[in-house]
Structure 1
Amino acid sequence: MNNKIVNPDIQPDSDLHLDISAALMQVPGDYADWLAELKTRIHVAQQRATLAVNRELILLYWQIGRDILERQAQQGWGAKVIERLAHDLRTAFPEMKGFSPRNLKYMRAFAKAWPDSEFVQAVLAQLPWYHQLALLDKLHKEDERRWYAAKAIEHNWSRNVLVIQIETCLRERTGQAITNFETRLARPHSDLARESLKDPYRLDSLGLGEDAEERAIESAIFQHITQFLIELGAGFAYVGRQVHIEVGGDDFFIDLLFYHLKLRCYLVVELKAGAFRPEHTGQLNFYLSTVDAQMKSEHDNPAIGLLLCKTQNRGVAEYALRDTNKPIGVAEYQLVHSLPKELQTSLPSIEQIERELGVAGETES
């Protein structure tokens, strides 16, 4: 028979676990708020550290590129010197990536494209290196690069989204829809509203044929709402499809309804599978009046409308909007052939975009 000698000063494990659990349960009344504040501070500190590291890396790459340019100009360096430099840097810093001959050439191109060091420090250092490469590879004019760089920073675009916006010519399409915003909305609200619409809207990725009907387009947009929101632009939130409204006992249904967070107003979207016709504005005008009367809060601005048509005659659209008392824009949509064939295959899939945005599976909630 084995006799155990028990030290009275040592608690059994089960008792110790109970004491720890009890201690964890007994917290001051303001503990939860303090913990939440600490978490926020930690997240902010992590983000600042990441931004600081990225800023230093971008500036380092720009300085290396500038030095290569200067030495090539002054001393006639050839391509083989870059090969040697890549070898020596990788030998000296084996734990660091980014010193391949290809990347050193990108650094040289980066410095050549952006000779203004102040702009690099103030603006470009906010973007990761792979965003910089997208700007270099996809664009050839400085004003275009500046515009897309500013938008990427403003809207926090991932590299994939930046590439999509460049390849679908967002800059050329922004603010091109025919509208009556200048006469129906006060500034600067009218300017922001006009810039929030584009023409045409690219709906290639919905996988529809040229002759798709309105309901098929609407259904495809709903199924791929993440992709459509990217095309619609920053600031839009999805509200619903076939949104029911009742007026005088009669039922009506809005094709698609969104809310713009910066404009603080609803966007009513009507789809037309054919050419624009003047009578379309009357229907949309009615929907806007109803949304303003039944849905708009006292803090919201008046709703704006967007007619998406397969084709439009700009002159007809301008006359149709001239005496319409609600703010409406008219734009075309393109289901196929809106991109060169070589670019269509380079676009990421909808699933890739959803993974990039981190909202896969949440678009219908």
Structure 2
Amino acid sequence: MVSSEIDLPADYAELLEALKTRISGARIHAQRTVNTLVIELYWSLGRDIIGRQAREGWGSGVIRRLAADLAASFPDMKGLSYRNLQYMTAMVRAWDATENVPQLVAHLPWGHIRTILDKAASAEEREWYAAAAVQYGWSRNVLLNMMMNHSMERTGTAPSNFSRQLAAPDSELAQQMAKDPYNFEFLGLSGDVAERDLENALMSRITETLRELGPGFAFVGRQVHFDVDGDDFYVDLLFFHIEQSRYVVIELKTGKFQPEFAGKLNFYVALVDDVLRRDHHNETIGILICGTKNDRSVRYSLGRSTSPMAVAAYTYDKLPPAEQQALPNEGHLVAALEWAEPDTGTIEGTD
């Protein structure tokens, strides 16, 4: 036990924090290095097996025997199963590189790679989800959730006037955050609900809400009050996007989009831009999330708006039949999570 009588130097607390930060950083670096080495090993095994299959016509029986013999030789390694050897060959075929593992793949934990191989339907999806998982440090469960909710297909699809109201680089970045539709299935709502009910549900599930909105969003407040010369106004939800350094006003409407909604959102964006925005911030943008919308009406409404805005729909229990069939039920989700459990000794630094 450390004695409390020790006369500690004045800067001891700062020194302790600095050393803790250094140790944590070294541990994370070591985890990433180990992970990269393991993925490189798996890549080389998969590449060699594919080569043997092509030259010598190896069948599944040979690979099963190989897995058994490798597991017997290295009993402390859990990643040499027949199933994992199949994933190793699938990884090499999917990313279609002959010699070295692609840099993006090398930075992914093995469980993430298997999830992408299982769920991605195209090379474009593999690249998009792999890049997003590395960039934002998604855990395997978050990655699985993003893929099951078709995040790639919805990202950047909401009708907006960003290209007219923002410079090209800002316009492209802002468009990326505007999904359509937003998937609020996690709220457990059904039937007709009021805006306040939807807002309350979103705030009670703020972690899931931020995850659905996308990386970079920080919550500022709900029903944020503004006094305009004695007139009271309340912004439904206010966020700040860290990476883009801009405020994001979100207005909620449970019914069908009406042109007057755009006028109100335009007013709120201008208000936040004037009152809260600082010189080093980028322009405030607005996103209106409504129950349903007519895209042509949206485009007319945004055409003359002076603020950068987008309009998106949301879903919770009103997905089209084809989309409902594509999404897994609870049993499928549990099975998928069990399937994605690590089958290797790899340290997954992002989990």
Taking structure 2 as the reference length, what is the TM-score of the superposition? 0.89
The alignment status of 1:154 with 2:143, answered yes or no, reads no
Query: What one-letter code is carried by the residue in structure 1 that aligns with 2:188?
Result: G
- The equivalent residue for 2:5 is 22
Q: Which string of whole-angstrom CA distances, capped at 9 and with x for unpartnered residues, describes residues 196-243 of structure 1? A: 111111111100013222111111101101111111001001111111
Within the candidate set 85, 91, 95, 2:72 is matched to 91
Supply the distance in 2 between the matched residues of 1:44 and 1:207 (Cα, whole angstroms).
40
Within the candidate set 309, 313, 318, 1:328 is matched to 309
- The equivalent residue for 2:187 is 206
- The equivalent residue for 2:328 is 343
Query: What one-letter code is carried by the residue in structure 2 that aligns with 1:26?
Result: L
Q: Give the Å deviation of 1:308.
A: 0.6
Identical amino acids, percent of aligned pairs: 46
Query: What one-letter code is carried by the residue in structure 1 that aligns with 2:133?
Result: A
The alignment status of 1:284 with 2:265, answered yes or no, reads yes
Supply the distance in 1 between the matched residues of 2:166 and 2:328 (Cα, whole angstroms).
38
Within the candidate set 8, 19, 22, 1:38 is matched to 19
Query: What one-letter code is carried by the residue in structure 1 that aligns with 2:5?
Result: A
- The equivalent residue for 2:166 is 185
Q: Give the Å deviation of 1:120.
A: 2.6
Q: Give the Å deviation of 1:189.
A: 1.3
Within the candidate set 300, 303, 307, 2:284 is matched to 303
Query: What one-letter code is carried by the residue in structure 2 that aligns with 1:22?
Result: E
Residues paired across the two proteins, number: 330
Q: Give the Å deviation of 1:36.
A: 2.4
Name the CA shift for 1:118/1:69 in 2 (closer, same or farther; >3 Å): closer
Whether the 8 Å CA contact 1:291–1:303 is kept in 2: the answer is: yes
Name the CA shift for 1:118/1:86 in 2 (closer, same or farther; >3 Å): closer
Which secondary structure does the structure 2 equivalent of 1:179 belong to? coil
Which secondary structure does the structure 2 equivalent of 1:22 belong to? coil
Q: Give the Å deviation of 1:110.
A: 1.3
Whether the 8 Å CA contact 1:124–1:149 is kept in 2: the answer is: yes
Larger radius of gyration: 1
Q: Which string of whole-angstrom CA distances, capped at 9 and with x for unpartnered residues, describes residues 297-346 of structure 1? A: 23222211111111111111111111110111101111214343451424
The alignment status of 1:133 with 2:96, answered yes or no, reads no
The alignment status of 1:111 with 2:92, answered yes or no, reads yes
Q: Give the Å deviation of 1:117.
A: 5.2
- The equivalent residue for 1:4 is none
The alignment status of 1:234 with 2:215, answered yes or no, reads yes
- The equivalent residue for 1:82 is 63
Supply the distance in 1 between the matched residues of 2:167 and 2:35 (Cα, whole angstroms).
41
Whether the 8 Å CA contact 1:164–1:347 is kept in 2: the answer is: no
- The equivalent residue for 1:195 is 176
Supply the distance in 2 between the matched residues of 1:153 and 1:96 (Cα, whole angstroms).
25
Name the CA shift for 1:316/1:337 in 2 (closer, same or farther; >3 Å): closer
Q: Give the Å deviation of 1:22.
A: 3.0
- The equivalent residue for 1:315 is 296
Name the CA shift for 1:193/1:118 in 2 (closer, same or farther; >3 Å): farther
Q: Give the Å deviation of 1:186.
A: 1.9
Name the CA shift for 1:305/1:119 in 2 (closer, same or farther; >3 Å): farther
Supply the distance in 2 between the matched residues of 1:144 and 1:102 (Cα, whole angstroms).
23
- The equivalent residue for 2:338 is none
Name the CA shift for 1:320/1:119 in 2 (closer, same or farther; >3 Å): farther
Taking structure 1 as the reference length, what is the TM-score of the superposition? 0.86
Name the CA shift for 1:125/1:238 in 2 (closer, same or farther; >3 Å): same
Supply the distance in 2 between the matched residues of 1:240 and 1:347 (Cα, whole angstroms).
32
C-alpha RMSD over aligned residues: 1.9
* Larger RCO, structure (CA 8 Å, separation 6 or more): 2
Whether the 8 Å CA contact 1:59–1:121 is kept in 2: the answer is: no
Whether the 8 Å CA contact 1:66–1:111 is kept in 2: the answer is: yes
- The equivalent residue for 1:11 is none
